Amino acid sequence: MNSLVTCSIDMRFAPNDVDQAVQLLLSVSGSIQAKRGCHACKVWIDAADGGVIHYSEEWESREAFHQNIRSEEFRRVLIAVDMGCEEPQIVVGNLSGQSGMAYLLQLQETEIKPLGGISNSV
């Protein structure tokens, strides 16, 4: 059975890079949110620390999440991640405990099955 897959990325930016990073993330969040299988795609600035931007996605299945990871929109998310001044905190949930930037890059390189007619096993 498929289960909800979440990806959260917490990024710290230099003060002069925050606006550009937020704009980049917001420029793709709407199109990611509109994709089949996406339940949510959110971007927000930490209220207690204006240098920290939180980004999160929720997907109905592992396959839908993997499809998104290989998209042009997610490549732009990774550009924002690269703009950060510290290593980001990345957590991918409900995928056998896998997390972090190395896992996201691995998924980008992995061939995935089309969304139609796939097995519901996780």
* Angle in degrees, 0-180, between the axes of helices 72-83 and 18-33, rounded to the nearest 10: 160
Q: What is the pTM of this model?
A: 0.77
| Domain CATH for 89 | 3.30.70.100
pLDDT of the residue at 54: 98
Query: Which whole number is the average pLDDT over 95-114?
Result: 62
Residue at 121 is within a domain: no
Q: Which of 121, 59, 118, 120 is nearest to 92 (CA)?
A: 59
* 35 Cβ contact list (under 8 Å, min separation 6): 64, 67, 68, 71
Residue at 119 is within a domain: no
Query: Which whole number is the average pLDDT over 2-14?
Result: 90
Domain hosting 52: range is 5-109
Number of domains in the chain: 1
Residue at 116 is within a domain: no
Q: How far is CA 112 from the centre of its chain?
A: 17
Residue at 118 is within a domain: no
Residue type, 119: S
Residue at 122 is within a domain: no
Residue at 40 is within a domain: yes
pLDDT by residue (tens digit) across 77-91?
999 999 999 999 998
Report the mean per-residue pLDDT for the chain: 85
Residue at 65 is within a domain: yes
As a whole number of angstroms, the distance between CA 103 and CA 26 comes to 23
Query: Which whole number is the average pLDDT over 89-114?
Result: 67
